[in-house]
């Protein structure tokens, strides 16, 4: 699931990988469905490659999203634009051991925003991932 979902530096939202070409990848915005090429000079990261710092080890983003999904029964949570205290309090509930020196409120907001977008698009199926890892 998260291997085909991309974050592109400098561009809001998330993108789905559509196709590879010799000079670029073709992506589709999950927000508005528009397709465009992302060239090699763009910093493109799959959500599967992102992890969150904790006091002990880095936790894959997939695990954090799954934790939110279980807490919220797969439905979107509050807006990522809520007050800082609410964002921090929520993040402490879903990932109590996050590294308070390395994980910024902006990171938390982005994770909540990504979760909400994936939940709205019904792209939070973790069953296929656990079957892959078996």
Report angle CA 66, 111, 30 to the nearest 5 degrees. 90
Reported as a pLDDT band with limits 50, 70 and 90, residue 128 is low
Q: pLDDT tens digits, residue range 43-56?
A: 999 999 999 999 99
Q: Is the pLDDT of residue 131 over 70?
A: no
Q: pLDDT tens digits, residue range 85-99?
A: 999 999 999 999 999
Q: Torsion angle, CA of 69/72/73/74, rounded to 10 degrees?
A: -50
Domains and CATH numbers, the chain: 2-47 (2.30.30.730), 50-133 (1.10.10.1650)
C-beta separation of 40 from 23 below 8 A: yes
C-beta separation of 50 from 61 below 8 A: yes
The answer, as to whether pTM is greater than 0.85, is yes
């Amino acid at each position: 699931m998260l291997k085909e979902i991309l974050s592109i530096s400098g561009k809001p939202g998330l993108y789905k990988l559509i196709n590879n070409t010799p000079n670029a990848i073709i992506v589709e915005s999950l927000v508005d469905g528009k397709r465009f090429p992302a060239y090699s000079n763009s910093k493109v990261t799959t959500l599967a490659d992102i992890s969150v710092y904790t006091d002990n080890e880095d936790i894959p983003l997939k695990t954090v999203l799954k934790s939110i999904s279980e807490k919220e029964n797969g439905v979107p949570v509050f807006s990522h634009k809520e007050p800082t205290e609410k964002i921090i309090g929520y993040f402490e509930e879903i990932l109590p051991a996050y590294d308070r020196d390395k994980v910024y409120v902006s990171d938390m907001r982005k994770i909540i925003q990504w979760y909400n977008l994936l939940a709205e698009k019904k792209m939070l199926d973790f069953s296929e991932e656990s079957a892959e890892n078996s």
